[in-house]
Structure 1
Amino acid sequence: MASPAQQLPPGWSAEWDASAQRYLFIETATGRTQWEPPAPAAPAAQIPYTDPGAAAQPAGSHKRRQYAAGQTQAYYGGESTLDAGYLGGPPPQQGGGQLFTPGLVGENQFAAQQTQAQPAAQPAYYTPGDADYAHAPVYGQPQPAYGQPVDNLANQFGQMGVTGQKQHSLYTTNLLTSPPDPRDLQNPPPEIRLPPNSCVSPASTANADPSYQRCTINAIPTTSSLLGKSKLPLALVLTPYRSLKDGEEPVPVVTDTVIARCRRCRTYINPYVQFIDGGNRWRCCMCNMTNEVPQLFDWDQVRNQPGDRWARAELNHSVVEFVAPTEYMVRPPQPAVYIFLIDVSNPAVQSGMVATATRTIRENLERIPDEDGRTKVAIVCFDTSLYFFSMPTGTTDSSMLVVSDIDDVFLPKPNDLLVNLAESRASLESLLDKIGGMFQENSIIGSALGPALQAGFKLMSPIGGKIVVLSSSLPSIGAGALKNREDPKVLGTAKESALLQASVPFYKNFAIECSRAQVSVDMFLFSAAYQDVATLAGLPHYTSGQTYYYPAFNAGRSEDAIKFAHEFGEVLAMPIMLEAVMRLRMSSFHGNFFVRSTDLLAMPAVPQDQSYAIEIQIEETITTPFVVFQTAVLHTTCYGERRIRVVTLALPTTTNLSEVFASVDQIAIATFFANKAVERSLTHKLEDSRDYTLQKLVEILIAYKTSMTAGGAGASAQLAISENMKMLPILVLGLLKNVGIRQSAQIPPDLRAYAQALLTSLPSQLLISYLHPNFYSLHNMPPEAGTIGENGSVILPPQQPLTSERLERHGLFLIEDGQTMFLWVGRDAVPQLVADIFDLPNYESLRGGKTTLRVLGNPFSERVNAVIQKIRESRRGPYYPHLYVVKEDGEPPLRLWALSALIQDRADVLPSYQQFISSLKEKVSSS
């Protein structure tokens, strides 16, 4: 006997209700449901079967694809044992309200649109129990084969937090009696607990890993008033192109160019859509629109045979890349282009920057991405003139062409200046070997950086790519010339914020030109004197590049040369995403890009591990049980392939304020606060930035006290916060004490501007260490610390609270923030410790300062070096922190710099953690 699903008229589907033991009939267009079947359709035998692998029907064709009975049941219909084994009954309940939608063809977008359509009421396919919530999400855990018993599969759903919307338990902590524990910063964010049947996949990769995309709140308030009552910021922190460490799974790539997108909102198909109509159609999780499943969605084009829908990457992974078809291309994928602008003025040559830079480029030519053999390279040197180099193919010869007219920059030769890396490799290597000698005796002091940038732009503007600037002095001649505006009397006053803003419009205007031509700029700055980092960093900021700063660089110190060579080499080897675009319809956004129109973000070349913060507003009441955020970035790989990277994050909604507080991701909030603080310091004043950040924290504490504690708005003897937010105050204190916005009259504007560039671009993994340094005791670390653990990685010592109370006069300590490392040696350190680590007879013979720690022939030396190496290698990004030896009774500036990392202590006018908490208590009580 034919099932009801085979007798329905067009536009209707039948789904089995396990609890009622009968079919539920659904009108696809409206979502209306009824128990009685509509008028029957023609017999199934009269409906032609279409092979899933057949080509798409031409326009005007009305044939519909039908699956064989077993195939249809496997997708969600009927009563087969296969269906019961996979999902245990009818299809999942439709879920998400729309907050984000991806972009139109050829561009990408976020959209703050929200659906009012209600999902059809559909029964859950099994009843969750308390055991379903026993497990947190497990990334990378093997999944059961499809068809395994339901209890095994239910356990997998339980680990994803999708078996039921049980609320987070809210635990309150008294900050006055609970000192911060650094280990809490290693905890994962609160579990994402989606309602039943939200996801079509049991894969643990179906929701976004926090390293790609995380939200400040993991249970979204349904109304703006509820969000306002909490005083919490609602924002996303994105790192769409994060790097991969050894052992991490690469982002899966969909190569068959079958890209299923919603017809209305352009959402990409993802694990949170719903398949209906026997698997022939899918309902969008953003706007509820019903869409046809593409003909080739279930066809394996590699093997030329029917494929397994449930094995498709886009239904099992929250982060996926599609190979884009031609309609996503304005022009064919362009080759990667690198133009190096090298300062060869006297300060640059004398510091050793020129020799180190050219040697590093030569040593890393093999690492520059060039799999397709199309990468192009050019070298332009500059002082007060411009020096071009012609490198003919097939020879090791090159010739230098000098342009001294910097008022009207022109290219001295139409070809052989921008050359193919593979074809001109020999002449390029020969030139890099010679440049240092060419300018060894250069006595010219001055920098025509602006004209050099214009020349580089003329070379590459038809193609796009990356300009890499290496500059050792303040631009002083031609377009973009700058004046030394450093004034010690202004530091620490209300006028200081002016030093953090661009002094001339040239660099921002030039950045806009670059953005239009798909040109990105990276800045490597080396000056020992004032260089106006605030102005120069605007170029990377608006072209999605990055700024690197090496104050007082001197290659004669091996530590300086090693740090720069390592970081420069990593940047050269880094895959970059070219011609990227992303559309945002949000209240505000932060990061390195240019807003080309009101909502279109242009990112000419996106480096790995660059972070962005996106602020979200709730404009209308959310009526769905969960929401979906989807980030989609269209780009060209540096290997010549047009792709779309899609990152999907699903979060439950809630009307419960305690659930909102219990789901807060304190790491994401601290990242967002860092971006807001820098923005505020530039639009207002540094003092306003600090006051704003502090006030936001106070508002959160007041809201929590008022709504979540028994005392309510009355007086209280405690300072209450939820357990999952107890590290937020010290992260805010770390931000207030960071060089980027710290109250001080001693911080040079270049250092402050560089710190602000880091605060707005570092991924959370690096940023949190930058705000809250790590502190280790080495002289008494456990025996296993510094050795290889079971997972093949070096075991780190336990972290210490960031207070000098933990410093011992006979001890050896390591303090690091991802940018700098301090090896603190107590004044009573025993001679044996000094000998084992430094190969010196005693403490008195030890000198403080920048150093390279050698591995000596003893276990303690090997373990300490292993810890330092592990810290340097474990984080994402190219940074290679300097190591400074700090003697307890050594040079005061170095001692104070190291001690400033211990943010729980009082420093200058800045409070200790206890004083900070006490002042927060007073502000909350007085409210």
Structure 2
Amino acid sequence: MYAHPNHIPQPPHSAGRRFQGFRRKIDPAQVPSAPEAINFDRHQWENTIFQNKPGEHVPLSSSDFISLDQGNASPKFVRMTTWNIPYTSRLANECAIPMVAVLQPFADLDPREEPVPLVDFGERGPARCERCRAYINPWCTWIRGGNAWKCNLCSHETEVSPEYFCNLDANLMRMDHLNRPELNRGTVDFAVPPEYWASNPPPRFLMPYFSSEPPPTGKRKPLPMNFVFALDVSSESLRSGLLFTACAALKDILYGPNACFPPESELAIITFDVTLHFYDLSSDLVPMLIVSDLDEVFLPLRSGLFVKPQGRQAAIEGLLNALPERFAEMPYTDAALGSAIRAGIAGLAGRGGHIIVFQSTIPMVGAGGLPGEPDEANMYDTSKEASLYAPRDNTWRDIGEECVEDGIGVSIFLGMSKYIDVGSIGVVASMTGGELFYHPRFTPERDGAILHAQFDRLIRRTTGYNCTMRVRTSNGLVSIRVNEHHGNFFQRGATDLEFGILDADKALSVTLRHSGGALDPRGYVYLQSALLYTTVEGQRRVRTCNLALPIVELAWNVFLLADLDATLHHLARRAVSQMSSEKLANIREDLTENCSSILLAYRNKCSNTSSHDQLILPEAFKGLPVYTLGIEKSKCLRARNVTSDVRNYYAHRLLSMSVRSLVQLLYPPLLALHDLAEDALFPDETTGRLNLPDVMRDSHLYMSANGVYLIDNGEAVVLWVGDSVSPQILLDLFGVDDVLVVDPQMSALPRLESRLSTQIHNLLEYRRVQRGGRVSKFFIARQNLDAAELEFSDMLVEDQNAGAMAYTDFLSVVHGQIKQVGLLQLRDGGTIGGAVALRGSIW
């Protein structure tokens, strides 16, 4: 991909620092290209089935591939930073590639793939190892004629129950092997008996709410997931239209043409300002009961608080229609979010569920009441800046812990016009496995459809609640063990992770380490994640994901099957998790050093014959420098002044999003719309799948003023229109022939009877379906005319912007670090492993 000969000047942007010091002129066309690898991988896998065997190259997360489960879980469920495990801890350190597993247990599958099978062992429950408690899986071996099985994780031999016995064939496989999903599928759901039911939390010394009834104790029978919808009815919510939009979206979720509310579930509706309002949904008049005590919340009713919406349509629709008018008469400026969540906990106690909140103003009253906006401008680049990225009141952590103990998740829609302290209130969503939806300066015309699509996805996607997860690995004299966990969850002990809810869009990561000694190079390292959860329908299950990973002795083999996407996912999460304790400048320097260390390790262990002046990049990590730069330019880590609310929102997103979403956020796909092939973005006649064009590099050097370009990072879609674009293209896209007449405030592209318009709408629909129905915010950016061009330019990762240098300059810095350490090695006559400290010798 070559730079355009008549490329545009760099768009308006927040300039980054230029490279300080001498460097030779680098031709941008000669540096490694991330889109080149993305396009190649997509073409490779679009018509090929990934066999999913140990020791194979794994498709990139950006490719639409079909995975065949043959005992190893699909990469959609588990991705490794390297699919070959170093046989010693020394080799692992020398390679400098972190050993990390990224887990997404409920990931959406391609419609052409087989669904996850459900296995029911009845009252005895699934077969488990007597020692390590691992679940039966395809990598276990059968002994004693089928009377026992040997655990692949700890090698313990467990007797087979009489009901589960089966004879073995000549290959020592069970005769019923092919009819047992748990013995040939890497990802399986097990239905579990009452001993696996969740337990109610132990009695607290101080209850977060008042109840006239004693708190429930003991085991909790699984029930369909119940929902509490809590609506902010303060003056800001009314003024912005958030309340009206939330009520309209909820009506559509419940009773619209595409209603998606689970038929087995019940709901409750709470509204709140400086008081809490409860509604008896079982009555046709729907009376409102007001609770003014925000510190000791209590439920004024039990019967009628929760109902199934199918039989109460007239009452619920009447209430939702009346709410905006009812509270317009005496609006209050405050909204007690913390107390409203605790009211939801009181309602869901003993059953678990999901609290969905719509909030428009900073909660200054009630539980966790917060002071006003801090003086952020004077805190940047000081030791106090880290405090902006942590809760200002620990009550919010307490609320999050209370929710997790009761098996409750909290998701919050934020539609505010000013500072709302995402760092404090967002911790509840983060701790419980919920989600934040961020709509600054909310307006129904621009954000209403986006919020509706987000709400729809929130209800439709695969979700489990009251979840506990544990990751087990091979456990012998020499083993691989779980070291750290990263993501949005609550961790009480060293091994178990707890979630109020966990859904299809959420991923977490675990860091693995050698316990010492050498592994058997002829064997495998095994990994099993087990997620105990309750389905939306009310069934208690365990989902297991299993992997067998080859052990290798050579660094070359470690790099051969390294996974760039999973490595970036880990680097980004580790950086974000340090925001509340480290200066952002130090975090960015650490990211650069991590990039240099991995490339230095490859140079030392795999390319010793190359000149020290030559930058050597492993095939798997050719995109590592530009993606690392993308992490540093992300809105939560970039150098320029970004509000703490924005940083905290993106930090929450990075700690929860899938590998695919993260890679797209770091290096957004850019398409030239004026240069599409005739068949591009139309269904293929033979396969029926959309013919996707190749993406281009994120830089103004490859753009021209007579072009139209679309960039999409998953959060926003920006359509950039050059000032010399053809009038015919404008007519095909907007129905006007003058760029000055194009409406920059449009929130969606108009549908016109033109080929180009159809192509673009096919692309937008494809990406909407790809994200499970979620829609990104849409902006028009005309060259040198519209403010949205700032957002567009900041997405061009390879340019100098967002408080950071250009890609070519960043490569020079990385190359300089590697060269300097290489010269030190030559001078000292020794070799240094990849995981070396670079800062002291470079900065």
TM-score above 0.5: yes
Residue 546 of structure 2: SS of its match in structure 1? strand
Match of 2:441? 552
Compute the displacement of 1:797 (Å).
1.9
Separation in structure 1 between the aligned mates of residue 110 and residue 778 of structure 2, nearest angstrom: 23
User: Does the 8 Å contact 1:176/1:918 carry over to 2?
Assistant: no
User: Does the 8 Å contact 2:51/2:70 carry over to 1?
Assistant: no
Q: Which runs of 5+ in 1 are unaligned?
A: 1-173, 197-201, 301-305
Relative to 1, partners in 2 of residues 1:805 and 1:540: Cα closer, same or farther, differing over 3 Å? same
Compute the displacement of 1:528 (Å).
1.1
Q: CA-atom RMSD, angstroms?
A: 2.4
Relative to 1, partners in 2 of residues 1:427 and 1:908: Cα closer, same or farther, differing over 3 Å? closer
CA deviation profile, 1:474-498 (whole Å, cap 9, x unmatched): 1011221112115223345553322
User: Does the 8 Å contact 2:627/2:666 carry over to 1?
Assistant: yes
Residue 328 of structure 2: SS of its match in structure 1? coil
Compute the displacement of 1:203 (Å).
6.8
Amino acid at match of 2:304: D
Q: Would you say 1:384 and 2:274 are equivalent positions?
A: yes
Amino acid at match of 1:578: Y
Amino acid at match of 2:513: Q
Match of 2:530? 632
Relative to 1, partners in 2 of residues 1:772 and 1:625: Cα closer, same or farther, differing over 3 Å? same
Match of 1:810? 706
Match of 1:184? 37
Separation in structure 1 between the aligned mates of residue 782 and residue 161 of structure 2, nearest angstrom: 68
User: Does the 8 Å contact 2:31/2:808 carry over to 1?
Assistant: no
Separation in structure 2 between the aligned mates of residue 753 and residue 920 of structure 1, nearest angstrom: 28
CA deviation profile, 1:679-721 (whole Å, cap 9, x unmatched): 1222212122111211111111111111211347xx6121112
Q: Would you say 1:586 and 2:482 are equivalent positions?
A: yes
Larger displacement relative to structure 2 (477-486 or 214-223): 477-486
Q: Would you say 1:568 and 2:455 are equivalent positions?
A: yes
Larger displacement relative to structure 2 (499-508 or 430-439): 430-439
Separation in structure 1 between the aligned mates of residue 756 and residue 416 of structure 2, nearest angstrom: 38
Match of 2:164? 297
Match of 1:622? 519
Amino acid at match of 2:189: E
CA deviation profile, 1:768-813 (whole Å, cap 9, x unmatched): 0001100000101111112112332222221001110121111111
Amino acid at match of 1:473: T
Match of 1:331? 220
Separation in structure 1 between the aligned mates of residue 640 and residue 426 of structure 2, nearest angstrom: 22
Separation in structure 2 between the aligned mates of residue 613 and residue 774 of structure 1, nearest angstrom: 25
Compute the displacement of 1:729 (Å).
1.4
User: Does the 8 Å contact 2:84/2:552 carry over to 1?
Assistant: yes
Compute the displacement of 1:434 (Å).
2.1
Amino acid at match of 1:527: M
User: Does the 8 Å contact 1:826/1:887 carry over to 2?
Assistant: yes
Please, which of 367, 372, 380 is the counterpart of residue 479 of structure 1? 367
Match of 2:809? 915
User: Does the 8 Å contact 1:786/1:864 carry over to 2?
Assistant: yes
Compute the displacement of 1:350 (Å).
1.5
Residue 679 of structure 2: SS of its match in structure 1? coil
CA deviation profile, 1:182-231 (whole Å, cap 9, x unmatched): 142363899976489xxxxx974321211100111111011111101111
Compute the displacement of 1:468 (Å).
0.9
Match of 1:430? 318
Match of 2:728? 832
Please, which of 148, 173, 179 is the counterpart of residue 311 of structure 1? 179
User: Does the 8 Å contact 2:220/2:351 carry over to 1?
Assistant: no
Relative to 1, partners in 2 of residues 1:835 and 1:316: Cα closer, same or farther, differing over 3 Å? same
Q: 1:15-414 residue pairs with structure 2 within 5 A?
A: 177-185=30-38, 187=41, 194=54, 204-257=69-122, 259-297=126-164, 308-329=176-197, 330-365=219-254, 367-368=259-260, 370-371=262-263, 373=264, 375-392=265-282, 395-414=283-302
Compute the displacement of 1:310 (Å).
2.1
Amino acid at match of 1:235: V
Compute the displacement of 1:857 (Å).
1.1
Match of 1:903? 797
Relative to 1, partners in 2 of residues 1:688 and 1:193: Cα closer, same or farther, differing over 3 Å? same
CA deviation profile, 1:425-448 (whole Å, cap 9, x unmatched): 442233222222222334321121
CA deviation profile, 1:375-419 (whole Å, cap 9, x unmatched): 221111011111111122xx5321111222323322222322233
Separation in structure 2 between the aligned mates of residue 851 and residue 422 of structure 1, nearest angstrom: 34
Separation in structure 1 between the aligned mates of residue 72 and residue 470 of structure 2, nearest angstrom: 22
Amino acid at match of 1:643: R
Separation in structure 2 between the aligned mates of residue 829 and residue 563 of structure 1, nearest angstrom: 29
Relative to 1, partners in 2 of residues 1:875 and 1:449: Cα closer, same or farther, differing over 3 Å? closer
Compute the displacement of 1:278 (Å).
3.0
User: Does the 8 Å contact 1:494/1:687 carry over to 2?
Assistant: no
User: Does the 8 Å contact 2:404/2:466 carry over to 1?
Assistant: no
Compute the displacement of 1:550 (Å).
0.7
Separation in structure 2 between the aligned mates of residue 589 and residue 457 of structure 1, nearest angstrom: 27
Relative to 1, partners in 2 of residues 1:906 and 1:400: Cα closer, same or farther, differing over 3 Å? same
Amino acid at match of 1:453: I
Separation in structure 1 between the aligned mates of residue 547 and residue 745 of structure 2, nearest angstrom: 46
Residue 254 of structure 2: SS of its match in structure 1? coil
User: Does the 8 Å contact 1:175/1:721 carry over to 2?
Assistant: no
Amino acid at match of 2:141: Q
Separation in structure 2 between the aligned mates of residue 229 and residue 588 of structure 1, nearest angstrom: 20
Q: Which runs of 5+ in 2 are unaligned?
A: 1-26, 57-66, 168-173, 198-218, 472-480, 822-843
Amino acid at match of 1:629: L
Larger displacement relative to structure 2 (858-867 or 502-511): 858-867
Q: TM-score, normalised by structure 2?
A: 0.83
Q: TM-score, normalised by structure 1?
A: 0.76
Match of 1:152? none
User: Does the 8 Å contact 1:321/1:646 carry over to 2?
Assistant: yes
Separation in structure 2 between the aligned mates of residue 743 and residue 297 of structure 1, nearest angstrom: 60
Q: Would you say 1:767 and 2:662 are equivalent positions?
A: yes
Compute the displacement of 1:613 (Å).
1.0
Relative to 1, partners in 2 of residues 1:442 and 1:875: Cα closer, same or farther, differing over 3 Å? same
Q: Would you say 1:926 and 2:820 are equivalent positions?
A: yes
CA deviation profile, 1:735-768 (whole Å, cap 9, x unmatched): 11111111112x1111111111111111011110
Residue 801 of structure 1: SS of its match in structure 2? coil
Residue 681 of structure 1: SS of its match in structure 2? coil
What is the aligned length? 733
Residue 401 of structure 1: SS of its match in structure 2? strand
Structure with the bigger RCO (C-alpha within 8 Å, sep 6+) is: 2
Amino acid at match of 2:680: A
Amino acid at match of 1:370: P
Compute the displacement of 1:368 (Å).
4.9
Q: Would you say 1:533 and 2:431 are equivalent positions?
A: no
Amino acid at match of 1:180: S
Please, which of 679, 689, 698 is the counterpart of residue 784 of structure 1? 679
Q: 1:585-734 residue pairs with structure 2 within 5 A?
A: 586-620=482-516, 621-623=518-520, 625-711=523-609, 716-734=612-630
User: Does the 8 Å contact 2:467/2:533 carry over to 1?
Assistant: yes
Separation in structure 1 between the aligned mates of residue 85 and residue 51 of structure 2, nearest angstrom: 13
Amino acid at match of 2:781: V
User: Does the 8 Å contact 1:681/1:688 carry over to 2?
Assistant: no
Residue 629 of structure 1: SS of its match in structure 2? strand
Amino acid at match of 1:679: S
Name the larger-Rg structure.
1
Separation in structure 2 between the aligned mates of residue 830 and residue 253 of structure 1, nearest angstrom: 56
Compute the displacement of 1:361 (Å).
1.1
Compute the displacement of 1:277 (Å).
2.9
Separation in structure 2 between the aligned mates of residue 463 and residue 908 of structure 1, nearest angstrom: 46
Separation in structure 1 between the aligned mates of residue 503 and residue 349 of structure 2, nearest angstrom: 19
Amino acid at match of 2:789: R
Amino acid at match of 2:412: M
Amino acid at match of 1:805: L
Amino acid at match of 1:597: G
Q: Would you say 1:489 and 2:378 are equivalent positions?
A: yes
CA deviation profile, 1:880-925 (whole Å, cap 9, x unmatched): 101111101213x421210111101111641111111111110111
